[in-house]
Amino acid sequence: MKKIISIIIATYNAEKTLKRCLNSIVSQKKDQLELLIIDGCSTDRTMDIVREFAESIDIIVSEVDEGIYDAWNKGIRLATGEWIMFLGADDYLLEGAMNVYWNYLKKHTLDGIDIITAQSKLIDAKGKYKRVFGNPYNIKEFRCYMKISHGSTLHNRKLFDELGNFDISFKICADYEFLLRKKLNARYIETTTKTIKIPVLGKVPAGVPIEAIQDILGYEEIPASMLKSGNNYFALKIDGDSMYPDYKTGDIIIIKQQSDCNSGDDCVVMVNGDDATFKRVIKQEKSIILKPLNNNYEPYYFDEYEILTKPVKIIGIAIEVRRKLR
């Protein structure tokens, strides 16, 4: 099938963030979406993670390169999509994000358009919201500083035929230099995001469906588009330090309800009919470990028999952290 969008991810020692990035893409992947991983011979577990997702990745390259722009240039040569997006290994797509792009491409005539830009939500390494970034392209403003969000921009592949590739002599800002080579014909995706409210829970009691829990601390808003795939969500307020430093008392965690997870996901888990706990789930061949991130706490080990008989049940996975500034 003809590819419409190619997503290129350049990686090097990205084991800490790559799984989240790939999960966010794979969950929204269609046949018209092409995914390329261009790795620079990582020395950590990056390629192990890539192999976990191999069935969903169209092209995998791992060889020595001269930096991110060299990797992107390799990806451009290999990509077959009409539009190209560059994501960092520490970026991830919000749920429903690709539907926004698909719908825009279907509804608009885009002959002669060089780039399609949108906004990005900036968060820090702990998942704390910082700000929204990305304005419409304006040549006068753009010549002064980079105002568009590169990670959420679709590039017409014809633009690379016209202007060439990224200049690898730049260690940073080669993407900015590339887009300065001509006055671009740009479109901007104006999104008016509809939101819904989900309950914030202080705990997840045993034997009570999420929607029936009465002990609600408040509400958080999430994009309504997140529900289109049939998923359900709730929020959990952290009380305690077992998952410190990634999660602190008072943090609000957005939880996607599901009964399974990948090894390394942070999950709400119910054990032995007790109230649910929030821990990192490490899967082994015939057992799982519920691992606190705070070394002052001991992990919980469950073998295959205990998983079935206690039972140990995944309630949902953490997809976002919201932390108030103090």
Closest alpha carbon to 291 in 261, 320, 321: 261
197 and 235 Cβ atoms separated by less than 8 Å: no
From 225, 242, 256, 291, active-site residue: 242
Joined tokens for residue 96: 């429903």
Cβ neighbors of 168 (< 8 A, separation 6 or more) are 66, 67, 69, 70, 73, 174
Is 140 in the active site? no
Check if 242 is active-site.
yes
List 19, 74, 256, 279, catalytic entry:
279
What are the residue numbers of the active site? Answer: 242, 279
